[in-house]
Structure formats: C-alpha cells, structure tokens
Amino acid sequence: MITSQRCVGKSIRKKDAMQLLQGKPVYVDDITRTDALVVKVLRSPHAHALIEEIRTDIAMKVPGIEAIYTYLDVPQKRFTMAGQTYPEPSPYDRLLLDQRVRFVGDAVAIVAGETEKAVDKAMKLIKVRYQVLEAVLDFHQSKDSSVLVHPEESWKSLCPVGADNHRNLCASGSEEMGDVDAVLRDCDHVIDHTYHIKACQQAMMETFRTYTEMDPYGRLHVISSTQVVFHCRRIIANALDIPKSKVHVEKPRIGGGFGAKQTVVAEVYPAFVTWKTGKPAKMIYSRKECQIAASPRHEMEVHVRLGASNDGTIRAIDMFTLSNTGAYGEHGPTTVGLSGHKAIPLYTTNMEAYRFAYDVVYTNRQSSGAYRGYGATQGLFAVESAVNELADQLGMDPVEIRNRNIVRQGMKMPAYYGETTVACALDRCISRCKDIFDWDEKFPVRDMGNGKVRAAGIGLSMQGSAIPGLDVGSATIKLGDEGFFILMIGAADMGTGCDTTLSQIAAETLECDVDDIEVFGADTDASPYDSGSYASSTAYLTGKAVEKACIELKEHLCEIAAQILSCKPEELEFRGDGAYRLADGAFVSRKDIATKSMTHNPVAAQATVSHTSTVSPPPFMAGMVEIELDRETGNVEVLNTCAVVDCGRPLNPNLARIQAEGGIVQALGMALTENVTYTDDGRVMEDSFMQYKIPSRLDVGKLRVEFEDSNEPTGPYGAKSIGEVVINTTAPAICHAIYRATGVWHRTLPITPEDILMGGADD
C-alpha cells in the first residue's frame, strides 16, 4: 500500500463541481431529445379493485396521441422492480399493467403522445369501470387476512425468504442465540415497548425520469436517473419479456437518489412505449407522483424487550419487526433484516442472548422500497430509544451505560452474521462526541423562561459496507493518448462524489494527480459489471476494485516500457510519471508508453478487476442533539447537532462530512416533520411539499461532524462506508431530548407539536 498520501485523505474538489455550479446541462431532461413522446400513467383512484372494462377509443382521437396501452396489451410475465442482484430476494409480483390494481396510484394505463397537453387531455377521456374490492390498509391485520393482495397463481418468490402470497407474507423469519426468555426473566430491568416508524419519502431534488429510444442496431437505449444500471437492464428486459442483449442502459448526472432510484420506478413505461412504437419516449414524474406512487421507506413497527442488570449491563435483546411492504414486495425481504442486524450488535459486550424475528406483509398501500439506512434506521430508533429509557430508569448517564455495553474492536458479533470487528472506533466516537458537544453541560434540562426548555439526547449507529458474499464492484483503468488515464466504473455517482473519491484512489495508486484521471460511467455497454450504488458499497467495494485494477495496470505499463528499454518488466518500477529502471534510472514517460502501446504491442494498456468481499465491516457513529422545546406550542427547535463517525479512513474528508450532514438533516425531517397519513380509502394526504415538510437550512441549527479513524484492512486505503450510517442517530437522539424536556416518551415518528402537546407513550 502506498503511504505517500498524495490524494487519499485529501479534501479534493468534486470533479463535476464547476459544471454544476455553472448550471451546465447534465441531467436526463437536459441531454435527451425534446421531441420525444411524452409518457404518463393513468392511476387508480381505488386501493383495491378489478378493472371490469376500460375504454380508450375516445381518448385515442385526441390529436397528437400516439398510443394507449392497458393490461390487455402488455406481457403477462411477472417481475420485480427492486434493483437487486439476481436471483432477487424480492418476489416477482408485478406486471407492467395488471387487471387488479392494489393501491391508490397504481398504474391503470400507459398514455403516450406528442405533447403533455394532449396526454393530459387523453387521460381524462379514458373510461374505466372498476369492481371495487375490500382493501387491507392496516398492516396489523394483513397477515392471514381473508383479503389477499396477491391471490394470483403467477406470483413467485425466487429465494427462500419465508414468503407466502396466500398469507399476505412478503417475507418472514427468525433467529436467536441463547435462551432469551430465561435471561429476560432473570434481568433486574426489562424495557418492553413497541416503536412505530412511518413510511417517509426520499424527496430527492430530481424526480424519477427516463428517456428511451431505439439505437441504429435495433436495441432499446435507455438513459435514466438510476442508481443501478445493470439491474435496470435486467428489470426492463423482464418487464418487456425481451432478451437482455436488446437493452442498453446508461445514467447521466443524478439529482439525488437516497435509495429511491434503486427501484425501477419509471423506466419500464417509456421503455415499453419505445419498444412498441419505435419512437423516442420520455417519462418525468411529477412531485405528486413521487409522493403517491414511488418507493418510500418501509413503515415498521418494532417491538423491543431489552433486559439489563441494576449496574446497567445489557444482557439480552428480543426484537420483533412488523414491516409494511405495501402493494408490492420491492426490498421487503431485505430491508427488514437490517432492523435487527444493525441494531442488536451495537451491544455485544455483555450479550448473553438475543432473538430477532420479523414479518413483512402486503397491504393495499403505496409500495415501499430502498431508502438510505435500509431498515437499520427503523431498528436503531427502537433499540436506541430503549437504551435511553433504560438509562433513565437506572438513573445512569446514557453515555456511561453505552460505554459499558458497546461493541469494541476485536469482538465477534453473533447478531451481525458472526463477523468480528477488525476496525472499530465507536468508543472513541462517543468520547470525542461527548467532549465537542459539551455533553456534561447540555445534558441537564435547562429552563430558559417563557415556557421554553433546553435538553439533549444521544443515539448510536452502525451500518455495513456492501452485502458480503454477494455484491460485486468493478473497475477498468486504461492509459490514453499522451498519458492520461480513463477510469470506467459501473457505480453511479448520485451527488455523493464517488467519481471523485474513486479517482483519488486511482491517483493514489498510480502516483499521479487526480486531474490525470478521467471518469466514465455508468453504462451497461461500456462499464464493467457493478452491482450498483447501494448498500453502502461504492467506496468500500468498487474502491477496492479501482485500487487493484491500478496495481495491475502498473504491471502492464512496465511490460510495455520494457519493450522500449529492452529489459525485463521486473527490472522496472512505475512511479506515476512513467517507468524507471531500478539499476540505472533509465526512464520511459507515460506518454511514450501510451504511444508504444499502439504500435506492435501485445500488452493491453488497461486492466479490469472485479472485487467482492466475504465480510461487511461496519462503520459506526455517535450523535448528540440539543433542542429547545416550547411547552406552550409543542414546537421543537434543533439548536446543536454533533456527530463523530468511524468510516475507517475518510477518502475525502469534505465529501464524507457532506454525506454525514445530509444524512443528519434527512433524519431530522423523519423525526419531526415528515408525516404520511392516509384517508380511510387509502389515499396519501401529503402529496406535495406544501403538506410533506422536509427540513430547510433554517431548521438545522449548528451542525458539527468529525471523524475518528480506524484502519479497515479489507477496504481501499483503510476505508469503510459512510453513506447510510449517518442517518440513524438523529431520530433517537431527538426523541431522547424531547423526553428530557417533557418527561414523556414518544414512540412513533414523526413527533409533531400536536403529539407533544397531547402526550406520547403511544404503545
């Protein structure tokens, strides 16, 4: 490993920073044809119904309408929209269009026309007669209900995840270590509560959008705002029932994803239109569609029993998670696992027994999907709240009770796939966070007068770094004319800056400047296969592939240089600007190596490496929040937030800090303002940003993020992930602070001013 620290660990400016700053065209709608057919979907007004008749003849007479498709026109092959590695654990339960609609907003017809005005007019003229069916809207009543969301025989689950469509089960399972019930009976204290975390939207700036066209070779060319180009290709091919070789997917700049774009929400509809008509097509979701028919976080109810001794030793945790996947099963079987696997292991030190069980159920509500934190967020809110309540019950400082029980470096974590923490700085994260937050001064409740009080709370978090034994990261690095390098990746930069951090890894390994590295991707035709940008995998997995590819490329370049110097490759060393002969210092520049590579040369001036991992080293985080609460109005103002993160070695501290700040703010919204409510007939009430309140800069207060380094030997230059761990501490810390200020625990998120005024403890 190179130790020069030329690039890694430096806060280098993002490669696309100036393009974005200057408003250059980079997104789907900037770079695709303006004369493409406009595609929209007519959506169901009912939570559960069968289409008895659908008439499109009048709508087809609208000038400019190209085509209208119904369930009678689409392939009868079920698929999943979840962007996951095949075979997907999410069930194959969708059709492009189905006679049975399963939530308010489900697709009824696809309409394509020359203008948006024509399409909007035609949608109003489509006549649909529904047989309205009884709906299951309460996820407590779904399992074994007489109302089946998916009664069809063509439904199938590819993996053994405990799914059973005849029981409304998308997944079900359990695991345990030791005799949980016996240990809990022997504990001096047992915290026993149920925590409810509502679905919430990713609310990324760029809505779902896709452009499709036929290329000169008769293939379907898709340009989409997606995190998963390779999975997207498979899903589109499955939905259209065409060969995967006929689909080419690429992504431009993405205006945020946060997991939403790990689900193929919009791509299949314009793809079907283009495949049928041969004409370019484009679909751009409105904000309302993003709110009512997208892929929000899974609503979960988490029952926790946490047992401890009088001295604060946590001896056992029993968790049961009930997850609401909604009308379809995207990511249902996988998100639920993280609710336990990323919460229970935090308290490994004295753990004698644990049990984690779960059910994931179908309901006639909007289908859920991937959202940053991916189930860990819900589980950690529950467990961290229970630990805070235990500390209060024992009269202990919540920092002290954590220090007695947290996982530390070198410990095996039975509830985390049996992995051992090789790099863990959680104890140092807590200690440093306590110091810079000034916990000892801020933790006591302070009456500020005028009915306002100040209080503080704490939360811990852990996540993972890619899916072990499954995910693949890949990179191709090649030497171009005049000696610059081209890095080709299949991971998607969603604004996280991975194009830059991966370039830093390449430049560090090749001992050159970041400006010498040009980045291309992600494109299913040109990029090497990569699972995609999700599961906190890009820096850890793809980053390691980049490092290994660059090491291999240096060997190739020495082979080419050896032809020029008439020596053996092992006599040379590549040092960034070129190859040096160790014996006498003879030198061949990168430019000359590039020129030679194109002339009578059998050695490729490039290298491609795929990398996978059998472990998923967890990053850790400690977070503290200070609030001011108005007892007369219930309003909560966040004054100070402090977080210290162990992401191994930060590859780019500024970009890592921005990741943490963004996650903290998202969690602030989840904790206080982002509320989703339904009418009695299953319609989402918050269908715009007028009703669905995401935080602005004015809501954040002072925010400080620092890092405690650890060195993860399986990561590139010691790095672990950071993308998701940062969203998980804020909600339990705010909940804790609200309890300190009011004396009332709230166990449902978000905690609104009305909830505070009316009191909590809602289990």
Taking only the tens place, the pLDDT of each residue in 324-380 is: 999 999 999 999 999 999 999 999 999 999 999 999 999 999 999 999 999 999 999
| Separation of alpha carbons 666 and 297, rounded Å | 12
Q: What is the DSSP letter of 345?
A: G
- How much is the pLDDT for 1? 37
| Residue in 659, 689, 664, 660 with CA at minimum distance from that of residue 674 | 689
Could you tell me the two tokens for 526? 């040109």
Could you tell me the two tokens for 128? 């649909």
CB 458 within 8 A of CB 385: no
Residue 2 pLDDT > 90: no
Whether the upstream peptide bond of residue 713 has omega within 30° of 0, thus cis, is no
| Separation of alpha carbons 501 and 701, rounded Å | 29
Average pLDDT of the chain? Answer: 97
Q: Residues 171-177: what's their mean pLDDT?
A: 98
For residue 574, count other CB atoms closer than 10 A to its CB. 23
- Residues 6 or more apart whose Cβ sits within 8 Å of residue 382: 193, 195, 197, 302, 304, 319, 339, 343
15-24, 144-153, 176-185, 284-293: the lowest-pLDDT one: 15-24
Q: CA–CA distance from 115 to each of 40, 545, 644, 710 (Å)?
A: 11, 45, 51, 55
Q: CA–CA distance from 93 to each of 78, 153, 156, 233, 239 (Å)?
A: 6, 10, 7, 18, 11
Could you tell me the two tokens for 683? 């319609």
- How much is the pLDDT for 761? 56
SS3 call for 465: coil
- Go through 515-526 and write b for each residue having 16 or more CB atoms within 10 A of its CB, e for each that does not: ebbebebbbbee
* Per-residue pLDDT band at 521 (split at 50, 70, 90): confident
Q: What is the DSSP letter of 50?
A: E
| Separation of alpha carbons 327 and 14, rounded Å | 39
Q: Residues 241-249: what's their mean pLDDT?
A: 98
- Go through 261-278 and write b for each residue having 16 or more CB atoms within 10 A of its CB, e for each that does not: bbbbbbbbbbbbbbbbee
Residue with tokens 């289908």: 367
| Separation of alpha carbons 565 and 326, rounded Å | 66
For residue 733, count other CB atoms closer than 10 A to its CB. 33
Could you tell me the two tokens for 568? 């053996």
Residue 3 pLDDT > 70: no
What is the three-state SS of 555-596? HHHHHHHHHHHCCCHHHEEECCCEEEECCCCCEEEHHHHHHH
| Separation of alpha carbons 364 and 100, rounded Å | 11
Percent share of the chain, pLDDT over 90? 97
* Per-residue pLDDT band at 184 (split at 50, 70, 90): very high
Could you tell me the two tokens for 763? 């289990």
Q: CA–CA distance from 34 to each of 250, 274, 280 (Å)?
A: 18, 15, 10
CB 259 within 8 A of CB 368: no
Residue 25 pLDDT > 90: no
* Per-residue pLDDT band at 122 (split at 50, 70, 90): very high
Compute the radius of gyration of the chain from its Cα atoms. Answer: 27
Q: Residues 583-612: what's their mean pLDDT?
A: 97
- Taking only the tens place, the pLDDT of each residue in 616-647 is 999 999 999 999 999 999 999 999 999 999 99
| Separation of alpha carbons 539 and 545, rounded Å | 10
Residue 701 pLDDT > 50: yes
- Residues 6 or more apart whose Cβ sits within 8 Å of residue 540: 465, 466, 473, 613, 617, 712, 714, 715, 716, 719, 720, 721
- Taking only the tens place, the pLDDT of each residue in 41-59 is 999 999 999 999 999 999 9
C-alpha 581 chain-centroid distance: 47
- How much is the pLDDT for 698? 92
Model pTM greater than 0.85?
yes
Pairing status of strand 209-214 against strand 281-284: antiparallel
